[in-house]
Each structure stands twice: as C-alpha cells, then as structure tokens.
Chain A
Amino acid sequence: MADRIECDVAIIGGGPAGQAAALALSGHGLSIVVIDEQPRPGGQILRQPPARFAVRGWLEERSYRPLKQLLGRFQALDDIHWLGSHSVIGLQRGSVMAMGPEGVTTVTARHILIAAGCHDLAVPLPGWTLPGVYAAGGIQAFIKGQQLLVGNRILVAGTHPLQLIIAAQIVAAGGSVAAVLFAQPRSAMVAALARHPLAALRRVPDLLATAAALRALARAGTPIHFGTSLEALIGTDRVSAAQTSAGTINCDAVGLCYGFVPQSALPRMAGAQMRPSGPAGGWACGHDDFMRTSVPGVSAAGETTGVAGAAAAAAGGALAGIGIALDLGLISLEAAEHAARTPRRDLAQHRAFAALLDAVADPRAYFPAPSADTIICRCEDVEQATIAAELPVCQSANAVKLATRCGMGACQGRNCEPSLLRMMAKAGNVPETGFTPRFPARPVSIADLLPPQ
C-alpha cells in the first residue's frame, strides 16, 4: 500500500457537487481531500481538456457559464488537497481506499462525502458490442476533454433530450451527425412537458439551450426523427449502419442516449440506504435534509443521490458541505439551517425540473429488444437467452449472477444490472435489490494492495 493520508473531510468526486461542497467547507481550517479518477476537476459536465492542451473558446455556450464559474472558484481554493487520477475502490466508515498510478492510498477522514456522479445507462441491442458504438456521454466527453470526434457520420439515438445537445456539439466541432433518433413520438414528449408547465417555465434557459441545439442542427441539415427506434447495429469489425424502425442508416459511430444512472457502488458498499432511481433505472442514495446518508459520517450529493442535472448537483453539494460543517461542530444548528435555506430551495426546484426531464426522457416503453444472442453482460459475454433461461428459477439478481456469470466481471455489474433487473421485472419478478455490492468498486492490481516486496 503506497500511502496514507489523514484528513477531516474526504470528498469523492470533483464535479459540481464535490466542488460546491468543498467551497462550503473551505475556510474553516479543515484538511479536505478531493478524490477523482479524472486527472482534473470538472466532473462529467465539464470534462476539462488535459493541462497540456490549450483550447480557445472551450464550452462557451451560456448554459455552462455558472458551472465554469463554480469550477474557477474551486480551482482557486488553496486549502484543499486535489487527489486526481485516483479511483476510489473501497469505502468504510471513516476511511476510503483510492487507487492511483503509484498504488493505493488509504484516506482516513472524519467525514466522507460521496459525490461520484452518474454514468450513461448501458442499453443492450443486437450489435451493440461492435467497436464504434458508444455511450453518447462518452462521445461528448471525447469532444469536451480530448477534442476528438469519434466518427465522420455519427448516429445519436435514444430517448434523452441531452442527445440534441451532444449532436449540436458534434456539429459545432466540425463533425457530421447522421441523424438524431428519438424512440418516443414527439407527442409523448410534448405531453410530458405539458404535465409540468411550472417546472418547465422556471428552467427556460435549459429549454433554450435545447432550442438552440435544435436550430444548430437544422442549419447543419441534420435529420431529427421522432418515434424512430433502433433495432440493431450492423457491421463486421465495426459498426457501419443502424437498422431502425424507419429503415437503415449508414454511420461509422453510434451514441446511445437512453438516460443516466447514479454511480451507486460506493454508497451501497458502505451500506447506505438506497432507493430506486429514475425511469432509467439504477439506485440513488438516500439522504436527510443535510444530505447525510443512513451511515454515520457519510454524506452524499449530486447525481449519486438521483440524476437531476448539474445545477441540482451543485445545490446538493453546497447543502452537504453545510451539513458536514454542522456535524464537525464548526457551525451551530441555527447557522446551518439558515445557510441551508438557499441550497435547499434550489435543490427542490432543480429536482422538480429533473422530474419533468425524466418524464420527457422516460425510456421504459422504448428500449430496443435484444435478441437471444445479444450480449447483456459485456464483461463476461453473457447472452440474453442464457439469462432468460434462469429467470424462472432465480428469484434474486445474485442468483442469476451465480448461475450465469452476469455481473461477475470487471465492471462490477454497473453495465448489466439495470438490464437484468428489467428482464426480471418483465418476467414478473421485481427484486428489491440488485447485486450485492462488493469490494473493489474498480478492479485493482494485487501489487497495489500490498506493501512493496
């Protein structure tokens, strides 16, 4: 084991939630460590280019402004210890194990904040394991962070409106989008909007960002189809076309965009109470009105507590910071309640908008149908038919895992758990939990866990 760090507060995740928490806690004389597996802070929404790059006009769209300001303030802090390029692999009360390029560091802390964000929902369909098929957020992160376009004709498909923004970013970067496909009809999206008019009104800027994206795509002549679903991805060594309900579309890369699920491995490992997340599936970490989880000394904020967007993440992070200051005896309950007012109000508003977005983006009726030989568990290559055969005799996700190896691989079941739970639900069995979370949250070299020889 390479190292040991003792601190007051360990924050896992340098996205908006982690940044806001650090800002709330800064200046109290605490030692604060912020751990992130990305080298630089920003989180998924602001995946910064490497320090070696200079990118003029990086993410200049108006919607990113407040987040860039937050990031700027965070990066200006001089009382936090940034532990970038470190993945948290284990978490128990009071301590965190972080795996970095030089080995594993144990960080002991009086309080731990989990602000690990979310990841794209992995959506199995025939051909989805072909090279060139990406999570849409991954394509976006290549543009934002690495200044790379993954293809010359990128197809973006799913149910989440974020795909409009991603498509627009591809176009703005000089790329070409084969089409944007929404599996749901436009009427379903409009109807969902109409059911939440107030929430929609309060978030005009977000809707405007979408509108701007629509205009940019129209200018580029990018086709946007509603009610058009993916059926299969085609290719031999890489994807070359998509078979859709409206015919075949040629493309050399595909981004799947059916929604996001919380990074839940760490709170589950710590034993925190979880609840089902939004319509895309997954598990969100429960918390009280200061973002404290059911495990003493462990708080959670941002998408880990439910996918609600970057602004909600920032509000939740600030609130968590206040709660931690309260728990550590730095401020009185009265002061904490007072300080909590604004972030609580913001969080509630953003979550209301998120509920609207959930309704608009709800993928449940529109998932592509895997065929019998479609791989569901990518790590272990477990096919749909193999799992289906076990469903009549297995009552729990763990039992299916044991019987089929689905979820037994390197990703710890992050990719396949939602697919498996959907299959089980379809077969009439809605399990209360998914796989038992296990150490390590990320595979770790055995050498790194041991003292040097």
Chain B
Amino acid sequence: MSADRITQDVERGEPITIVIDGQQVACFAGETIATAMLAAGLDAFRTDQRGKPRGLLCNMGSCYECLVTDIATGRRIRACLAPAADGMEVSTRG
C-alpha cells in the first residue's frame, strides 16, 4: 500500500509535522489529517469490534469511518475534513 502525493504542477503549504499515535508524520500545511496519514502509509483509522483495522471510505465527511481523537481537545474529529496543524497530536485508538 502506498499513497503518493502528486507533485507535478503542485505547490503545497509549508512542511509541518503532526503526531499520529506517537509517531511523527511529516506533511504539508493545508493537508487533511487523512491525507497526511495515507501519504505516510498509515491507512488504519480505527480498530473495529473484531479487532480489525478499518480504513476510511467516503473522504467527504459523510461515512464517519475516519473519526480520530484530537489529543489536545479530546474531540473526535473527521480526519478527512480536519486540516493538519503543526504539532497536532492525534490518536486512532479511541
């Protein structure tokens, strides 16, 4: 599995770092948390009741498969909508 950023003809925001489950993930300002995670090879956004990793589905805020926790606020946010912010810490473990 690997998601790749399209680089041709694209200028992104400045490089930033977010922290997913304790792991540093480099990404760019403007990207959603989902994009940052996928581009870093992290495609499990939660673990289901069977203990299986679950990916996101709709990438438009509708399916709620991408809920992650923003550690600073304790809020559950949709990774496909929420922008990554430098230093932000996120947990996929509820």
Contacts and interface: CB of A to CB of B under 8 A. Distances in A.
Interface of A: 37-39, 44, 49-57, 85, 87, 119-120, 122, 129-135, 137-139, 141-143, 146-152, 173-175, 237-238, 252-253, 263, 375, 378-379, 381, 409-411, 414-415, 442-443, 445
28 contacts: A37-B61, A50-B30, A50-B31, A53-B11, A53-B12, A55-B9, A55-B10, A56-B10, A87-B61, A119-B60, A130-B55, A131-B44, A135-B59, A138-B56, A139-B59, A142-B38, A148-B6, A149-B3, A149-B4, A149-B6, A151-B1, A152-B2, A174-B8, A175-B4, A252-B2, A378-B65, A411-B65, A443-B67
A54 B6 contact: no
Given A130-B55, A238-B43, A142 B60 contact: no
Interface residues on B, range: 35 or more
B81 A415 contact: no
Contact of B58 (A55, A56, A119): A119
A134 B57 contact: yes
B45 to A, nearest CB: 8
A142 B54 contact: no
Nearest to A55: B10
B44 to A, nearest CB: 5
Contact of B43 (A57, A85, A131, A381): A131
A253 B31 CA distance: 20
Nearest to A383: B50
A1 B19 CA distance: 30
Contact of B48 (A119, A381, A414): A381
A238 B1 contact: yes
A253 B13 CA distance: 27
Nearest to A148: B35
A375 B3 CA distance: 25
Contacts of B8: 174
Interface in B38-94: 38-39, 43-45, 48-50, 52-65, 67, 75-76, 80-81, 83
A134 B56 contact: yes
A443 B11 CA distance: 34
B53 to A, nearest CB: 6
A148 B4 contact: yes
Contacts of A39: 83
Contact of B5 (A141, A147, A445): A147
B17 interface: no
B35 A142 contact: yes
Contact of A411 (B9, B13, B64): B64
Contacts of A149: 3-6
Interface centre among B12, B35, B38, B59 (most CB of A within 10 A): B59
A53 B10 contact: yes
Contacts of B32: 146
Given A132-B43, A381-B49, 7 more contacts: A130-B55, A138-B58, A138-B80, A142-B35, A147-B6, A149-B3, A414-B63
B59 to A, nearest CB: 3
Contacts of B76: 443, 445
B13 to A, nearest CB: 3
B63 A263 contact: no
Given A147-B10, A238-B55, A131 B1 contact: yes
B6 A131 contact: no
A52 B28 contact: yes
Contacts of B45: 131
Contact of A129 (B5, B52, B58): B52
A140 to B, nearest CB: 9
